[in-house]
Amino acid sequence: MGESGDSPLRKKTLFIMGLYLKLAWRNIWRNKKRSLISIASVVFAVIIALLTRSMQIGFYRHSINNMVSFFTGYVQVHAPGYYENQSIDRSYVASDSLLRAIAKTEYVTQIAPRLESFALASCGDVTDGVMVIGTDPVSENLLTGLQERVEKGRYLRSEDKGVLLAEGLAKHLRVGIGDTVILLGQGYHAVTAAGKFVVLGTVKFPVPELNSIMVFMALSEAQYFFAAEDRLTSLAVMIEREERLPTVMSALKDKLGESYDVLSWRDMLPELVEYIQTDNASGIIMLIIIYMVIGFGILGTILMMTLERTREFGMLMAVGMKRGVLRGIMVVESILLSLVGALAGVIAGIPIILYLYYHPIVLGGEMAQSMLEWGFDPIMPFATDPSIFLWQALSVLVIALITSLYPLWRVSRLDPVTALRTG
């Protein structure tokens, strides 16, 4: 009964919508030159907005991938309270069940166990504060590519008793390959940690802070040095992609409970988060300016279409056309004009962004040098998220609805007699 009752209403609604579309479409092309110019301005603005947003998101992801691959990984697992008070006394024994639970978590690709603490490094009359990282050489290389950063000497092996020094630290201590450095620190439960270590190699970090303090040694040797047998301060975890981070964080927190702190790169690199938020805000302001250009372009066309048809509106109302019908046609005209431009802009933008995604812009000059110094590839990558295209289309649709308010207001206040005397 419901279907038979609704059917005539549905048919009437579809007929009215089809009529509005047909009338609006014909009205748009009554002045082809003006409509094409208006659509072209929307197409151009949408392409610029797509490129701007794609480049921003691509650069953020590139920066995040670079930073997490330097050292932190996307996620780290600590003992409760370790990150706020980074003492070796807050280390923990990683059981096989813990390692299996993390390794079997969906999207986790690599785990690197670490024992980290601070010490004094000395050679001759030079002494410096250093950060000692005991790690599994194979896992560490898979997670951070540490072996590729070896400048002189060779990379660590699991059975090694020597150390790798950051290049800046080696220069400050005036040591080379085969020389000996003395490390003095505080081990687990305040045990004195002291030892002599042969320099096996030097590694170069582009970030100055890392290049001046890092000392790497095999995990077993670090545990012996700090008297922290089988203990770790962190498990660094790498995942497939940054987009999987919320899923991985949720799964790890559910599995590990309150026995461990699970921190993401956002918790460990607040400066990078702040930079991205600031830059993103400036990018959104730029997009708003572009949208304003789009809005004024559409509004100009709608304004001209409304003013030049005032007499026509008056005549239609004089012969009985309702104001609601006129308002509906004007809204559809505005939306059609915007959507045609937005769709054409998206269709034109897709191949451009795909090309730039696979062939990112290679930077040169001082900008390239600056990025290399910070360890970033000197490129400007682009992102291809479907949401980038969807948001542009939705934004233009909202602009179209806003610009249609003027003809609605104009038709609502139109006096048929006065309108017939116009022009």
| Rounded Cα gap, residues 159 and 147, in angstroms | 16
The mean of the pLDDT values for the chain is 85
Half-sphere exposure of 416 (CA within 13 A, CB side): 10
Query: Which runs of E-coded beta strand occur in 219-343?
Result: 231-232, 234-239, 261-264
Per-residue pLDDT averaged across 72-78, rounded?
91
21-25, 210-214, 235-239: segment of lowest average pLDDT: 21-25
Is the model's pLDDT at 2 over the cut of 50?
A: no
Is the model's pLDDT at 6 over the cut of 50?
A: yes
pLDDT digits (tens, 9 = 90+) for 258-296: 889 999 998 888 888 888 888 888 888 888 888 887 778
Triad 42, 48, 50: Cα angle to 5°: 100
For residue 11, the model assigns a pLDDT of 76
Nearest to 383 by CA among 4, 17, 55: 55
**What is the Cα 420 distance to its own chain's centre?**
57
Q: How many CB atoms lie within 10 A of CB 71?
A: 20
For residue 1, the model assigns a pLDDT of 45
For residue 153, the model assigns a pLDDT of 93
pLDDT digits (tens, 9 = 90+) for 103-138: 999 999 999 999 999 999 998 889 999 999 999 999
For residue 375, the model assigns a pLDDT of 65
DSSP letter string over 332-388? HHHHHHHHHHHHHHHHHHHHHHHHHHHSPEEP-HHHHHHHHHTT--SEE-----HHH
Question: Tokens 């790690």 belong to which residue?
Answer: 135
Single pTM value for the model: 0.71
Per-residue pLDDT averaged across 145-172, rounded?
92
